A and B are shown apart, each in its own frame.
Chain A
């Protein structure tokens, strides 16, 4: 049982990194970017491509993947979403959602071409494969890195949003974009920054999944999207604390299902959370009720 709990903690760390990026874009920019999973996939594929000929250390891969996927997300935003924002706010979220489906299609087809729809593993040697065994519990060195990166990423993001000038500006945009704009907050600068952070987190999650679970393939990001949406609905859109709680709740729920011989019901957990929270507290555990004057 202790081993299963440890596995759930590591899984929750990965879910946290992935969901934080999606929650940030959704909560602040009102972009439900369905391409977030494909960005994670490309984070893993980028690492695989970089290490096909020569093994690179993990720290360098993290830097490259975060920069590359952050940039890719900014490019996607500029090419696909920016024009939609300029066309007005009417049904913006729906139009962005549909545009992101198109982006997914392109990224997925590209990933299929590059990987030939096959599955690969990252080479050994990127990071220590050492396994520590303490009172019967096996802890990989990589597990520690995943926990450090997820906790560090979460803390940095929370600090940035709460305490920095840009973070406060983002919160103002999330609260009321029109008033924020009248107050002089520049969307054109903050949107790419947000999309960069979001893409970087997705890329890092993809890289860590590839390393932790020994898998790189074109479809690896798809199941994550459903889980991330469930996590965000559970925790509350745009809430860092909500994303963390949602991610760990889902990870522990899924692991408990598998550990208790209900593996086939594992994916039901995410949807059960969504239905339950929508019935009981539609704004999510950490979401706040907003009131609009008509």
Chain B
């Protein structure tokens, strides 16, 4: 109850992006595409982008990560002249959803009523996107979702796109990794409040494990606000499966991991997409794997340029959230060049770009039913360093 009241009053619901943020990026990292003939309404020459992400609350780590990627893309777009060469001016406004579906709906209701807004990026949480995307669709506002795996664009409408490949499309790589390592039994521990993770745990993984010949010997749920996982950890340690699928968002992974090891569980662990999560966890995290659409060690040109530019601008390696935000803004910018800056023009442009696919920070992106797909990579952490998995 206190949280709800606090969230209502928390400061900083909305603020304009800082045009001068993170200067010094190397430009042109993504400027190969675009410039095609306009296929839609040209609009007023100003591309007004509204971004709804969680910049506070438990999911702030993801929202701020997305925002950092968007800001890098914004800097690159300005420095490269990608939009200016087409006489398009870019305006971005960020809204803080505060990890609160009510706040996200409130923002999106205001955004769709503002005729100046041409496109919406976000939200990132499925429980927000499931409520807001139909509002955007109904108002004729094109919407590029990030993450929000349980919100399927094809089920919502033709103006809804998603730039993050949904986890069900790539988590099979983690199961394959377990199978290749000879794992025969697993436990399953997942966040019962996250629609995406519930879908993966209850609808996707059982079939994948079954196909791989891996038996699920234990499954249980938790809430992200829990701090004590010792009960579940002790039970998993007692059953001693060969491996564990741990589906949690953010740093609660580290909390659970420590308690699992303290209770005596020694098996292999795969996490949901956990880029950046285990960096500070120390030796206890060594050996954890996860599949991800973003591979910082990719051989492709754009991921390499993105990684270098992000490190230069932010002084640290990028993660999946940074890459997603970056790709989202480039997706929208390409659409504006393709179709114009009106809502109709951006929508037509998004469809045209999706039909072609493009190379983004996440890799070679294609789209199925307006939903991004990319070849996944299985990552592993060892000694505080994330790298593609290599069999010992």
A101 to B7, CA, bound (A): 12
Asked if residues A105 and B9 are in contact (CB atoms below 8 Å), the reply is yes
Asked if residues A118 and B231 are in contact (CB atoms below 8 Å), the reply is no
For residue B378, give the distance in angstroms from its CB to the closest CB of chain A.
25
Query: Which chain B residue lies CB-closest to A10?
Result: B230
Which of A37, A119, A140 makes the CB contact (< 8 A) with B2?
A37
Asked if residues A223 and B227 are in contact (CB atoms below 8 Å), the reply is yes
Query: Which chain A residue lies CB-closest to B250?
Result: A119
Interface presence of A233 (CB below 8 A): no
Interface mask (B252-269 → A, CB under 8 Å = 1, otherwise 0) = 101100110011100000
Asked if residues B228 and A11 are in contact (CB atoms below 8 Å), the reply is yes
A226 to B330, CA, bound (A): 45
Interface presence of A225 (CB below 8 A): yes
Q: Chain A residues with Cβ under 8 A from B235's Cβ?
A: 4, 258-259
For residue B245, give the distance in angstroms from its CB to the closest CB of chain A.
15
Asked if residues B229 and A213 are in contact (CB atoms below 8 Å), the reply is yes
Which of B10, B61, B220, B234 makes the CB contact (< 8 A) with A3?
B234
Asked if residues B232 and A263 are in contact (CB atoms below 8 Å), the reply is yes
List residues 196-243 of chain B with CB under 8 A from any CB of chain A: 220-223, 225-232, 234-235, 237-238
Asked if residues B221 and A263 are in contact (CB atoms below 8 Å), the reply is yes
Asked if residues B56 and A119 are in contact (CB atoms below 8 Å), the reply is no
For residue B355, give the distance in angstroms from its CB to the closest CB of chain A.
38
Which of A37, A217, A255 makes the CB contact (< 8 A) with B58?
A217
List residues 115-156 of chain A with CB under 8 A from any CB of chain B: 116-121, 124, 131, 133, 138, 140
For residue A237, give the distance in angstroms from its CB to the closest CB of chain B.
19
Q: Chain A residues with Cβ under 8 A from B238's Cβ?
A: 3
Asked if residues A4 and B234 are in contact (CB atoms below 8 Å), the reply is yes
Interface presence of B60 (CB below 8 A): yes
23 interchain pairs, CB-CB under 8 A: A3-B234, A3-B237, A4-B231, A4-B235, A7-B230, A7-B231, A11-B230, A101-B2, A108-B3, A108-B6, A116-B61, A118-B61, A118-B250, A119-B252, A121-B255, A121-B281, A133-B264, A214-B259, A223-B225, A225-B2, A258-B231, A263-B222, A267-B223
Interface presence of B57 (CB below 8 A): yes
Asked if residues B60 and A117 are in contact (CB atoms below 8 Å), the reply is yes
Asked if residues B10 and A112 are in contact (CB atoms below 8 Å), the reply is yes
A38 to B5, CA, bound (A): 13
Interface presence of A173 (CB below 8 A): no
Interface presence of B89 (CB below 8 A): no
* Interface residue count on the B side (C-beta < 8 Å): 45
Asked if residues A215 and B2 are in contact (CB atoms below 8 Å), the reply is no
Interface presence of A219 (CB below 8 A): yes
Q: Chain A residues with Cβ under 8 A from B10's Cβ?
A: 105, 108-109, 112
Q: Chain B residues with Cβ under 8 A from A121's Cβ?
A: 254-255, 258, 280-281
For residue B7, give the distance in angstroms from its CB to the closest CB of chain A.
9
Q: How many residue pairs between the two chains, A and B, have CB atoms under 8 Å in the bound complex?
A: 123
Interface presence of B251 (CB below 8 A): yes
Interface presence of A34 (CB below 8 A): yes
Interface presence of B282 (CB below 8 A): yes
Asked if residues A116 and B60 are in contact (CB atoms below 8 Å), the reply is yes
For residue A2, give the distance in angstroms from its CB to the closest CB of chain B.
10
Query: Which chain A residue lies CB-closest to B257?
Result: A214
A67 to B2, CA, bound (A): 25
Q: Chain A residues with Cβ under 8 A from B250's Cβ?
A: 118-119
Query: Which chain A residue lies CB-closest to B281?
Result: A121
For residue A206, give the distance in angstroms from its CB to the closest CB of chain B.
10
Interface presence of A19 (CB below 8 A): no
A117 to B11, CA, bound (A): 13
Interface presence of A244 (CB below 8 A): no
Q: Chain B residues with Cβ under 8 A from A112's Cβ?
A: 10, 56-57, 60
Asked if residues B258 and A263 are in contact (CB atoms below 8 Å), the reply is no
List residues 52-109 of chain A with CB under 8 A from any CB of chain B: 101, 104-105, 108-109
Interface presence of A264 (CB below 8 A): yes
Asked if residues A264 and B234 are in contact (CB atoms below 8 Å), the reply is no
Q: Chain A residues with Cβ under 8 A from B225's Cβ?
A: 219-220, 222-223
Q: Chain A residues with Cβ under 8 A from B228's Cβ?
A: 11, 212-213
Q: Chain B residues with Cβ under 8 A from A4's Cβ?
A: 231, 234-235
For residue A15, give the distance in angstroms from its CB to the closest CB of chain B.
10
For residue B34, give the distance in angstroms from its CB to the closest CB of chain A.
35
Give the most central of A4, A212, A214, A222: most B CB within 10 Å. A214
Q: Chain A residues with Cβ under 8 A from B99's Cβ?
A: 117
Interface presence of B192 (CB below 8 A): yes
Query: Which chain B residue lies CB-closest to A225?
Result: B2
Which of A108, A118, A138, A254 makes the CB contact (< 8 A) with B251?
A118
Interface presence of A261 (CB below 8 A): yes
Closest 3 CB pairs of A and B: A119-B251, A258-B231, A117-B60
Asked if residues B56 and A264 are in contact (CB atoms below 8 Å), the reply is no
List residues 181-216 of chain A with CB under 8 A from any CB of chain B: 209, 212-215
List residues 1-58 of chain B with CB under 8 A from any CB of chain A: 1-3, 5-6, 9-11, 56-58
- Can you name 9 extra interface pairs (CB under 8 A) apart from A121-B258, A133-B264? A105-B2, A105-B10, A108-B6, A112-B56, A118-B251, A119-B250, A138-B263, A222-B3, A254-B231
For residue B253, give the distance in angstroms from its CB to the closest CB of chain A.
9
Asked if residues B2 and A117 are in contact (CB atoms below 8 Å), the reply is no
Asked if residues A105 and B58 are in contact (CB atoms below 8 Å), the reply is no
For residue A191, give the distance in angstroms from its CB to the closest CB of chain B.
23
Which of B6, B255, B263 makes the CB contact (< 8 A) with A215?
B255
Known: A117-B61, A118-B60, A259-B231. Is A109-B259 also a contact (CB below 8 A)? no
Asked if residues B61 and A105 are in contact (CB atoms below 8 Å), the reply is no
A121 to B279, CA, bound (A): 12
Query: Which chain B residue lies CB-closest to A254?
Result: B231
Known: A117-B56, A118-B60. Is A213-B3 also a contact (CB below 8 A)? no
For residue A210, give the distance in angstroms from its CB to the closest CB of chain B.
9
For residue A101, give the distance in angstroms from its CB to the closest CB of chain B.
5
Asked if residues A213 and B60 are in contact (CB atoms below 8 Å), the reply is no
Query: Which chain A residue lies CB-closest to B54?
Result: A117
Asked if residues B2 and A131 are in contact (CB atoms below 8 Å), the reply is no
Known: A7-B234, A131-B262, A263-B222. Is A120-B251 also a contact (CB below 8 A)? yes
